[in-house]
């Protein structure tokens, strides 16, 4: 709801993340975001917990999943990586 502009971002730490996310999303012609309750998205919740506990391990896991799924090149292109 915050990302879609329905709620304000008051927390300073979240505000920085919000600003970074909106700047990155500005590079896309179109994007959508929707709220998915944690109870219905166990995989994302597990990845979020891994990222909090082991950021480097989480980054390696995401990179490997992207590589195996063929998304690595698309993600690199979206991020402007040559």
Tell whether the model's pLDDT for residue 81 goes beyond 70. Answer: no
What residues contact residue 22 under an 8 Å CB cut-off, 6+ apart?
A: 3
Quick one: average pLDDT of 10-28? 92
Q: Looking at residue 5, what is its pLDDT?
A: 87
The predicted model scores a pTM of 0.48
Tell whether the model's pLDDT for residue 9 goes beyond 80. Answer: yes
Residue 20: closest CA among 2, 44, 45, 38: 2
The separation between the first and the last C-alpha atoms of the chain, rounded to the nearest angstrom, is 33
What residues contact residue 75 under an 8 Å CB cut-off, 6+ apart?
A: 66
Tell whether the model's pLDDT for residue 82 goes beyond 60. Answer: no
| Structure confidence by residue, pLDDT tens digits, 21-79 | 999 999 999 999 888 887 888 888 888 888 888 888 888 888 888 788 877 777 677 67
């Amino acid at each position: 709801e915050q990302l879609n502009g329905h709620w304000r971002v008051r927390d300073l730490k979240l505000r920085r993340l919000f600003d970074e996310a909106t700047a990155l999303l500005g590079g896309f012609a179109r994007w959508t975001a929707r709220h998915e309750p944690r109870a219905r998205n166990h995989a994302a919740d597990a990845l979020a917990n891994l990222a909090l506990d082991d950021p480097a391990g989480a980054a390696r896991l995401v990179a490997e999943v992207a590589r195996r799924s063929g998304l690595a090149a698309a993600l690199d292109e979206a991020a402007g990586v040559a």
